[in-house]
Amino acid sequence: MKFISVLAGLSLALASAGAAAASYSFQAPLAPDLPMLDAQMVSGPSFVDQWDFQAPASAVLVTGGVDTITMPGLNIDNIRIELYTAANQFIAGGAAGEFSQVTDVAVTPGASYYFRVSGDVVGEPNGFYTFMAISAPVPEPGGLALALAGAVVLAGLARRRLT
């Protein structure tokens, strides 16, 4: 009986020493000059935060990034950001390190998503990171074709001047 009590206590201690989790929500920005910026202080040997958002009604590309802020006693190692659907389907992930980012991912208009931010806290007693998310309109095919046509015309004019 004493063994079971010790085992139960040890299991509880290990479970509480695991990843601390927090959840946040934000409205996806509609313009590149209006990013979602926030800073978070985390504790524990490791952490997992979730940043929920709903994509705007128009087609957009989403970018998310995290960066550690090095301050005495507030350090994080191996910070990583990943993008998931609301149904927990992995879409994209950045490399772990001092910063991590997911860049220009097309999302379904009006659908729900979340960024998952994780890392290892090496500061005593906390770590500190910044979170950034931004959306930009998906370029229309006609606009890209027009830009390409303009580049071809400019290249032709430049070539003509050289000869």
- DSSP assignment string, 74-92: B-EEEEEEEEEETT--EEE
pLDDT band at 72 (very low <50, low <70, confident <90, very high): confident
CATH class of 17-155: mainly beta
Tell which residue, 48, 24, 39, 43, has the closest CA to residue 130. 39
Q: How large a percentage of the chain has pLDDT more than 70?
A: 70
- Contact status, residue 50 vs residue 22, Cβ threshold 8 Å: yes
The strand pair at 60-68 and 90-93 is best described as unpaired
Give the mean pLDDT of the chain.
Answer: 76
Tell which residue, 2, 19, 16, has the closest CA to residue 78. 19
Place of tokens 């990943």: 82
Tell which wins on pLDDT, 82 or 40: 82
Q: Is the pLDDT of residue 117 over 70?
A: yes
Stretch 79-91: mean pLDDT, rounded?
A: 95
Stretch 77-96: mean pLDDT, rounded?
A: 95
CA separation for the pair 75, 12 (Å, rounded): 26
Where on the phi/psi map is residue 133: left (φ > 0), alpha (ψ -120 to 50), or beta? beta
Q: Is the pLDDT of residue 134 over 50?
A: yes
Question: Which residue type sits at 7?
Answer: L
Stretch 2-31: mean pLDDT, rounded?
A: 46
Stretch 105-127: mean pLDDT, rounded?
A: 88
- Contact status, residue 131 vs residue 42, Cβ threshold 8 Å: no
Tell which residue, 43, 121, 40, 45, has the closest CA to residue 76. 121
Strand order in the sheet with 76-85: 20-27, 46-54, 112-121, 76-85, 90-93
- Contact status, residue 52 vs residue 24, Cβ threshold 8 Å: yes
CA separation for the pair 137, 17 (Å, rounded): 42
